[in-house]
Structure 1
């Protein structure tokens, strides 16, 4: 096995355990803090891709609700297992989100097809991140493949602070993040000008 792949698998297991140590009270409180940081950060943007969370990921439902109340255009991903890709849908209420592939909430039966060319900023789920913008996901590569084809927008990792790593081994196909938001605040990792409004 490729040594980077086996190192990543070990790291994934450690990160899952780290995240599982967060108590339900901490999970709720930290998710609210993260949503609050994100609302400020996302203020200049109009069309936002937000991953729809499943526990124990940072809960994005309150954020989605708040963005919709602000009149933002919120897009969510839908997993296509057949070709390991993502397609996208706008949502007008989080109530349409129901457990879909891998139990990820998706607007099944209520899709409003969305063009990824319209994305201005994307919130990306992850298991771990480092200060160089490297991200480790769940291993299926859905987001890496998508981001390799679409790089006209800023990418923001959403995580709890305990998910930070010293160094994540990266492969040529791995896509880096421009910023990460945790309960501790916003870390800008890239010099992409659109992040500095």
Structure 2
């Protein structure tokens, strides 16, 4: 566990109220101190990890509600790995499904579902072989707490060959989180000071 984590978060009972956890973690994240320095450190960690991984197509996301913004890392990666395709998610609230569409740093974005930015050009659906996944919370084993919509869990179902990198800040680390049947463990979780998960220590943490 990171020494900078502010956990444990109080829980009303052993069954744990995930909605309450989300509210508490999002509130913490939106008040993150020294955000610029922490974002810069996490950006550097993402660039190192993805450069080592050398994916064919990297799926990312547009930040919301105090999330770490991965787009500056994508701009750096576009220079370091010119052959990599980038993609951003588009969700359909009616079907509760998510797909990824081709996008490149600098291309136009517009407001999408839930107020999250999406590419203006959504004509080309792609299948990333690596994903940057936003985490509301996480535990060091690689279990992620999301927003509860299940979009990423449904997308990753049956896609065991996709390498998943969760992104979070230290203060969103949890001391405990009970897995639910639909949850998928992430291969790697990066924060501004360390790496966690199934493959922590194998990619991207040489200088953390």
TM-score, length-scaled by structure 2: 0.81
| Cα deviation, residue 123, structure 1 | 0.6
Match in the other structure for 1:78 = 90
Match in the other structure for 2:10 = none
| Cα deviation, residue 65, structure 1 | 1.5
Alignment pair present for 1:12 and 2:22: yes
Work out whether residues 19 and 163 of structure 1, in 8 Å CA contact, stay in contact via their aligned partners in 2: yes
Runs of at least 4 residues of structure 1 off by over 3 A?
Answer: 3-6
Per-residue CA deviations over 1:60-110 (Å, capped at 9, x if unaligned) read 1211222223312111111111110111111123441222111111003x1
> Relative to 1, partners in 2 of residues 1:191 and 1:95: Cα closer, same or farther, differing over 3 Å?
closer
> Relative to 1, partners in 2 of residues 1:5 and 1:62: Cα closer, same or farther, differing over 3 Å?
farther
Match in the other structure for 2:71 = 61
Match in the other structure for 2:177 = 168
More helix by share: 1
Higher relative contact order, chain-length normalized (CA < 8 Å, sep 6+): 2
User: What is the total number of aligned residue pairs between the two structures?
Assistant: 187
Structure 1 residue ranges without an equivalent (≥5): none
Q: Return the alpha-carbon distance in structure 2 between the equivalents of residues 5 and 122 of structure 1.
A: 30
> Relative to 1, partners in 2 of residues 1:38 and 1:151: Cα closer, same or farther, differing over 3 Å?
same
Match in the other structure for 2:45 = 37
Alignment pair present for 1:146 and 2:158: no
TM-score, length-scaled by structure 1: 0.86
SS at the partner of 2:157?
helix
Match in the other structure for 1:133 = 142
Match in the other structure for 1:180 = 189
Alignment pair present for 1:92 and 2:104: yes
Alpha-carbon RMSD across the aligned residues, in angstroms, is 2.2
Per-residue CA deviations over 1:95-131 (Å, capped at 9, x if unaligned) read 41222111111003x1241332xx2211101100001
Q: Which moved more, 1:130-139 or 1:59-68?
A: 59-68
Work out whether residues 91 and 112 of structure 1, in 8 Å CA contact, stay in contact via their aligned partners in 2: no
> Relative to 1, partners in 2 of residues 1:80 and 1:5: Cα closer, same or farther, differing over 3 Å?
farther
| Cα deviation, residue 175, structure 1 | 1.2
Work out whether residues 4 and 169 of structure 1, in 8 Å CA contact, stay in contact via their aligned partners in 2: no
Alignment pair present for 1:102 and 2:103: no
